[in-house]
A and B are shown apart, each in its own frame.
Chain A
Amino acid sequence: MDDTGGRRYPAKPARVYLFGTCLIDLFCPEAGMDAVRLLEREGIEVDFPPDQTCCGQPAHSSGFPDQTRAVALAQLRLFPEPWPVVVPSGSCAGMMRHHYPKVFADDPALLAEAQALAERVFELSEFLLEVARVRFSDQGPPARVALHTSCAARREMGTQVHARALLDQLPAVEVAMHGHESECCGFGGTFSLKHPAISSAMAGDKVEALKETGAETFLSADCGCMLNLNHTLQKRGESLQGQHLASFLWQRTGGQGGRR
């Protein structure tokens, strides 16, 4: 089950919900703000339900179904209007779109709610490309960037296709391919804490591959991967740093036009 093809997209809406994700909330709020700005510039009003916390993915992937369910349930009813729910993270979007129905599979009423929500969940780059149907005008100097798509974004949301298509709208931006591009960066949530040796080896190989492209920056639509790679690069004293795709897109396309 993925969104690499075949999903039917609605017409561009007047309003959307933003699910900001817990990592962006605490560590990368600017990326969340840039997502909002990109949406507003397209004439779409953004509603940010203040009671949102986390999609529940950390407990889900650690084998704690009761805690997953409790946290997922706390998000399930925060989006009562039939507006799209835009998520600036492929793995959190994948959790809400593909795993919520499984989390609530044993309760028909909640399952129906989860399925209805899942239908409205879009990863940010997917939404910008397929629903908002943006047409960017590139305002920046020539740049060479690399793209790292999180595994969940790639396999559950097809983000590598959507993000690349958005970047293709920027004529002065060259997207360099890196070695083993589809391979995991070693983040994996609690995996990076439980298996530091393996996770570090994976992160190390990924940053080497990114460096070899000669790109000035790399982009990711997932805050988790970006933190993993950026903090690995910092520890190694490297100057290369990654940027959230939303921030890069906002800056490249003029950085203005939305509400401040």
Chain B
Amino acid sequence: MNTQALRFVPASEFKERAAAAVADEHLRHSFRGAMDFLIGKRAAQFPDPVALEQQRALAEHIRKYSLARLPDLLEQLERKLTENGIQVHWAADPEQANRIIIDIARRHSTRLMVKGKSMVSEEIELNHAMADAGMEALESDMGEYIVQLDGEKPSHIIMPAIHKTKQEIARLFAERVPGAGYTESVDELIGIGRAVLREKFMSADIGLSGVNFAVAETGTLCLVENEGNGRMCTTVPDVHIAITGIEKVVEKLEHVPPLFGLLTRSATGQAITTYFNMISGPRRPGEKDGPREMHLVLVDNGRTQAYSDEQLRSTLQCIRCGACMNHCPVYTRIGGHAYGTTYPGPIGEIISPHMLGLAATHVLPTASSLCGACGEVCPVRIPIPDLLIRLRGEAQHDERPGHFPMLGQGAAKSRVIDAIWAGWAALYTRPALYRAFGWLATRFRALTPPMQSGWTVSRTPLKPAGQTLHERMAARKRP
């Protein structure tokens, strides 16, 4: 077991990592293949574009409705969960969330925690906090198990080990799993992992899981998974801790099916997952299984900042399907690790600034050609390109009147860039000056610089034409 897993690398070094990633043929090829596969699987689930738009509209509406009532729904959720015997904890930041979980673990003299897949636990770097506290946290989702074994971070929110080939996994298992031989058979590899994990489920003191939907009216935690490890984590150990972001709540049970159906179809192209767990409390008297104690940790970690702005609030509509990254031409080229954040790809570019601040993350919203593929496939219709533009602006400027400053507001402000855009606006708002500029640029086109910043890295220099369209249209008017 490798407890010296990678810590987050700063997002500010994004450009260097992205450049290294695009130069890596192997990575390019494997991400392209994997993303094409997922794009195809999703497309096969949505043969009727009109029906898809209706489903997206409904899902968007449910998420917006839930967010509009978020404070009330969270109180209702806490009440119902408490009635159901689930203890509710509130964490403003990763430190608080880790402390809550470690306190619970210590109370139960924990040696081993088994974990179902939870991106919020990645967000708070729970595995490190547990290791620092002298306790083991073992990932039980096969992909998460693989990246943990190799001391890596997930490179995708749904498929954490998507960057790895089966040969790499074969070598990893042969090296790190005691007693495992080298095999490239996927079934045998999964068998090796399952054999290790089976034993750990039985000996773990605590099971941890994420939450896909928390239903306020019934106090139900819904968990979507394919491997059955989520059910093991939430039923076998004596203590179950669920952890999630405060935005995951919906009001009614009937709000779940439309979201669930879009989540699985958008994520993996499945009409439904193998397991769908609805958890509504610990073991009751007379019941033969289930945890004896249950907790839910609700994490803010910057979500309130997004919530407090009308436009940025739509960030929280996300149901974590990963379709935006599967369809993103940038993510496809650089993979998830280049971003240096828990959430990579388009959703990461719009949510990481709230979690980590613009000072650390302002480069991320610029890493998009604004092609719009993400917004087009988002099952809850988050206008991701509009939010990228908004965050670019927040990084470049002080807060606008009537708005709260974001964490790291104006972190990318630069006098040089401000001057460039001021000059640009001065030119393009003065038609006579603009026409004179066009005349000069075309007459002196031979003097166009041969090196044009990032453009000429892989392109020949741009050169103006001999005459502008303005001149040619003006010339036509004279008979």
**Residues in chain A within 8 A of chain B (CB atoms):** 20, 22, 24-30, 32-33, 36, 48, 50-54, 56, 58-67, 70-71, 73-74, 151-152, 155-156, 182-184, 186-189, 191-205, 227-228, 231-232, 234-235, 259-260
Q: B429 touching A194 by the CB < 8 A rule? A: no
Q: A188 touching B369 by the CB < 8 A rule? A: yes
* CB-CB under 8 A for A188 and B454, given A27-B462, A58-B424, A195-B18: no
One of A22, A27, A191, A234 near B459 (C-beta < 8 A): A234
**Chain A residues closer than 8 Å to B467, beta-carbon distance:** 29
The answer to whether B55 has its CB under 8 Å from any CB of chain A is no
* CB-CB under 8 A for A203 and B458, given A50-B470, A191-B370, A198-B330: yes
Q: Once the chains are docked, how many angstroms separate the CA of A24 from the CA of B468?
A: 8
Q: Which residue on chain A has the smallest CB distance to residue B425?
A: A67
**Chain A residues closer than 8 Å to B464, beta-carbon distance:** 26-27
**Chain B residues closer than 8 Å to A232, beta-carbon distance:** 458-459
**Chain B residues closer than 8 Å to A188, beta-carbon distance:** 368-371
Q: Once the chains are docked, how many angstroms separate the CA of A151 from the CA of B369?
A: 9
**Chain A residues closer than 8 Å to B421, beta-carbon distance:** 59, 62, 64, 67
**Chain B residues closer than 8 Å to A52, beta-carbon distance:** 431
Q: Once the chains are docked, how many angstroms separate the CA of A25 from the CA of B472?
A: 10
Q: What 6 A-B pairs come out closest when comparing CB atoms?
A: A188-B369, A63-B392, A196-B454, A63-B393, A200-B458, A184-B371
Q: Once the chains are docked, how many angstroms separate the CA of A197 from the CA of B285?
A: 61
Q: B395 touching A198 by the CB < 8 A rule? A: no
* CB-CB under 8 A for A196 and B428, given A151-B369, A152-B372, A186-B329: no
**Chain B residues closer than 8 Å to A51, beta-carbon distance:** 431
One of B19, B368, B434, B463 near A191 (C-beta < 8 A): B368
Identify the interface centre among B396, B434, B453: most chain A CB within 10 Å of its CB.
B434
Q: B429 touching A203 by the CB < 8 A rule? A: no
The answer to whether B367 has its CB under 8 Å from any CB of chain A is yes
Chain B interface SS verdict (over half)? helix
One of B334, B369, B371, B428 near A71 (C-beta < 8 A): B428
**From residue B111, how far is it (CB to closest CB) to chain A in Å?**
45
Q: A71 touching B329 by the CB < 8 A rule? A: no
Question: Contact flags (1/0) for B429-445 with A, using CB distance below 8 Å?
Answer: 10100110010011000
The answer to whether B217 has its CB under 8 Å from any CB of chain A is no
**B221-261, CB < 8 A from A:** none
Q: Once the chains are docked, how many angstroms separate the CA of A56 from the CA of B389?
A: 14
**From residue A124, how far is it (CB to closest CB) to chain B in Å?**
14
Q: Once the chains are docked, how many angstroms separate the CA of A50 from the CA of B475?
A: 12
**Chain B residues closer than 8 Å to A60, beta-carbon distance:** 389
The answer to whether B22 has its CB under 8 Å from any CB of chain A is yes
Q: Once the chains are docked, how many angstroms separate the CA of A118 from the CA of B375?
A: 22
One of A28, A63, A197 near B457 (C-beta < 8 A): A197
Q: Which residue on chain A has the smallest CB distance to residue B458?
A: A200
One of A32, A183, A186 near B469 (C-beta < 8 A): A32
**From residue B323, how far is it (CB to closest CB) to chain A in Å?**
15
**Residues in chain B within 8 A of chain A (CB atoms):** 15, 18-19, 22-23, 28, 329-330, 333-334, 366-373, 375-376, 389-397, 421-422, 424-425, 427-429, 431, 434-435, 438, 441-442, 453-455, 457-465, 467-470, 472-474, 476
One of A65, A67, A193 near B454 (C-beta < 8 A): A193
Q: Once the chains are docked, how many angstroms separate the CA of A188 from the CA of B366?
A: 10
**Chain B residues closer than 8 Å to A186, beta-carbon distance:** 329, 369
**From residue B354, how far is it (CB to closest CB) to chain A in Å?**
16
Q: A20 touching B469 by the CB < 8 A rule? A: yes
Q: B462 touching A234 by the CB < 8 A rule? A: no
**From residue A134, how far is it (CB to closest CB) to chain B in Å?**
22
**Chain A residues closer than 8 Å to B372, beta-carbon distance:** 151-152, 155-156
Q: Which residue on chain B has the smallest CB distance to residue A65?
A: B393
Q: Once the chains are docked, how many angstroms separate the CA of A183 from the CA of B429?
A: 33
Q: B392 touching A195 by the CB < 8 A rule? A: no
**Chain A residues closer than 8 Å to B392, beta-carbon distance:** 61-63
**From residue A163, how far is it (CB to closest CB) to chain B in Å?**
17
Q: Once the chains are docked, how many angstroms separate the CA of A151 from the CA of B373?
A: 8
One of B15, B19, B390, B425 near A59 (C-beta < 8 A): B425
Q: Once the chains are docked, how many angstroms separate the CA of A29 from the CA of B334?
A: 36
**Chain A residues closer than 8 Å to B460, beta-carbon distance:** 231, 234-235
Q: Which residue on chain B has the smallest CB distance to residue A31?
A: B469
Q: B22 touching A192 by the CB < 8 A rule? A: no
Q: List 21 A-B contacts (CB under 8 A).
A: A20-B473, A25-B468, A26-B464, A50-B470, A52-B431, A56-B428, A58-B424, A64-B421, A66-B425, A67-B424, A184-B369, A188-B369, A192-B369, A195-B330, A196-B457, A196-B458, A197-B18, A198-B334, A200-B458, A235-B459, A235-B460
Q: Once the chains are docked, how many angstroms separate the CA of A61 from the CA of B370?
A: 8
**Chain A residues closer than 8 Å to B454, beta-carbon distance:** 192-196, 199
Q: Once the chains are docked, how many angstroms separate the CA of A200 from the CA of B435?
A: 32
**Chain B residues closer than 8 Å to A152, beta-carbon distance:** 370, 372
Q: A200 touching B15 by the CB < 8 A rule? A: no
One of A25, A58, A198, A260 near B333 (C-beta < 8 A): A198
Q: Once the chains are docked, how many angstroms separate the CA of A234 from the CA of B461?
A: 10
**Chain B residues closer than 8 Å to A199, beta-carbon distance:** 369, 454
Q: A184 touching B459 by the CB < 8 A rule? A: no
* CB-CB under 8 A for A53 and B431, given A67-B422, A197-B18: yes
Q: B453 touching A193 by the CB < 8 A rule? A: yes
**From residue A209, how far is it (CB to closest CB) to chain B in Å?**
12
Q: Which residue on chain B has the smallest CB distance to residue A36?
A: B473
**From residue A153, how far is it (CB to closest CB) to chain B in Å?**
11
Q: Which residue on chain B has the smallest CB distance to residue A91?
A: B370
Q: B459 touching A29 by the CB < 8 A rule? A: no
**Chain A residues closer than 8 Å to B476, beta-carbon distance:** 259-260
**Chain A residues closer than 8 Å to B459, beta-carbon distance:** 200, 203, 228, 231-232, 234-235
Identify the interface centre among B422, B459, B460, B474: most chain A CB within 10 Å of its CB.
B459
**From residue B359, how far is it (CB to closest CB) to chain A in Å?**
16
Q: Once the chains are docked, how many angstroms separate the CA of A193 from the CA of B392?
A: 15
**Chain B residues closer than 8 Å to A33, beta-carbon distance:** 469, 472
Q: Which residue on chain B has the smallest CB distance to residue A24?
A: B469
**From residue B299, how far is it (CB to closest CB) to chain A in Å?**
29
Q: A231 touching B462 by the CB < 8 A rule? A: yes
Q: Which residue on chain A has the smallest CB distance to residue B412?
A: A63
**From residue A151, how far is it (CB to closest CB) to chain B in Å?**
4
**Chain B residues closer than 8 Å to A201, beta-carbon distance:** 22, 28, 333
**Chain A residues closer than 8 Å to B334, beta-carbon distance:** 198
Q: Which residue on chain B has the smallest CB distance to residue A154?
A: B372
Q: A26 touching B455 by the CB < 8 A rule? A: no
Q: B470 touching A25 by the CB < 8 A rule? A: yes
